[in-house]
């Protein structure tokens, strides 16, 4: 079926095996409406990453202002440095809300009856590719954010200054852009180690909760199938040789880790349990077979952003592989 080819499963494994052409899948007429809606969000994702990558922070200006509280010029310089950064941070946060909406549209399409999640992936390859692109973006965003402690320092300074000026009855123009309620929500968002992943986890959990007539398995099977897709693509030279770009390898790894984390948050027993439909041992092995520099952040994401890794039901060998 087009770009998605079923691979004969070996008897010893009960996991679905597929090859999905992440590089070339195009939307069919039936996918077009949702695809367009999601695409309008995804086309801004590179700009968001570029903006985050170029985030320099106002650390020096803030330090100067704190050390010289009576120097009005230094206070003003710090404030004028922080305000544009806060507008930037609001832009990233607003994008996370759009991403949440896009993810829920995709989940709706990829899990709705009468088709199974596997049939959906066969029929709607372009939507599966967009789902993968959202996860890819999410892990890239969070990897970058973790390396920029300035974000929380800048935002804390902004909030302290706003509070102080409120006490002094000063009205600041920026409050029309970032009011107190918005600042509270942004504060919670940036307090997370992996804010975009947290957004997607919450969105997926909410999707399951709000769609009471939809069996939970429809959502978790969609995620476990995606994990298998990526695992097989990564461990099969016959498939990796089809990629026109080496970046597709990293793309597959990020997507695999992203769906594992979502599955672990949504499934009551998590991804590491023996009853899990995800071959965790195989997925971790695939990551460990890659150059360490490429996978350190991904292995850390499995260690620190999953929910059930440290449960008693997690096999010891899985825990040992991630130590």
Q: For CA atoms 256, 313, 222, 103, give the dihedral sign.
A: negative
CA distances from 133 to 9, 37, 38, 64, 233 (A): 26, 14, 10, 41, 16
| Per-residue pLDDT tens digits of the chain, which is 323 residues long | 444 434 433 333 444 555 677 888 889 898 999 999 999 999 999 999 999 999 999 999 999 999 998 998 998 899 999 999 999 999 999 999 999 999 999 999 999 888 887 788 878 889 999 999 999 999 899 989 999 999 999 999 999 888 876 545 444 677 678 888 899 999 999 999 889 999 999 999 899 889 888 888 889 989 999 898 889 888 888 878 888 888 888 889 999 999 999 999 889 999 998 889 999 999 999 999 888 888 888 898 899 888 888 888 888 999 889 88
Cα 143 from Cα 115, distance rounded (Å):
35
pLDDT digits (tens, 9 = 90+) for 166-211: 545 444 677 678 888 899 999 999 999 889 999 999 999 899 889 8
């Amino acid at each position: 079926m087009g770009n998605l080819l079923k691979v004969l499963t070996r008897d010893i494994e009960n996991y679905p095996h597929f090859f999905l052409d992440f590089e070339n899948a195009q939307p069919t007429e039936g996918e077009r409406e949702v695809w367009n809606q999601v695409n309008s969000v995804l086309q801004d994702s590179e700009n968001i990453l570029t903006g985050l990558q170029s985030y320099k922070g106002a650390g020096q200006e803030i330090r100067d202002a704190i050390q010289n509280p009576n120097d009005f010029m230094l206070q003003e310089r710090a404030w004028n440095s922080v305000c544009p950064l806060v507008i930037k941070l609001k832009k990233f946060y607003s994008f996370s809300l759009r991403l949440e909406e896009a993810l829920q549209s995709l989940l709706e399409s990829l899990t709705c009856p009468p088709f199974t999640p596997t049939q959906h992936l066969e029929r709607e390859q372009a939507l599966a590719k967009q789902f993968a692109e959202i996860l890819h973006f999410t892990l890239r965003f969070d990897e970058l954010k973790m390396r920029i402690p300035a974000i929380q320092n800048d935002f804390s300074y902004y909030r302290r200054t706003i509070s102080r000026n409120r006490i002094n009855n000063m009205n600041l123009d920026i409050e029309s852009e970032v009011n107190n309620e918005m600042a509270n929500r942004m504060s919670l968002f940036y307090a997370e180690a992996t804010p975009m992943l947290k957004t997607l986890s919450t969105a997926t959990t909410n999707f399951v909760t709000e769609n009471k007539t939809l069996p939970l398995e429809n959502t978790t099977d969609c995620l476990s199938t995606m994990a298998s897709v990526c695992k097989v693509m990564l461990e099969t030279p016959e498939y990796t040789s089809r990629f026109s770009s080496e970046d597709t390898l990293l793309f597959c790894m990020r997507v695999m880790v992203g769906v594992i984390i979502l599955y672990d948050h949504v499934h009551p027993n998590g991804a590491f349990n023996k009853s899990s439909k995800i071959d965790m041992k195989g997925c971790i092995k695939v990551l460990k077979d890659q150059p360490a520099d490429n996978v350190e952040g991904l292995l850390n994401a499995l260690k620190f952003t999953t929910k059930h890794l440290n449960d008693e039901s997690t096999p010891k060998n899985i825990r040992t592989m991630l130590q």
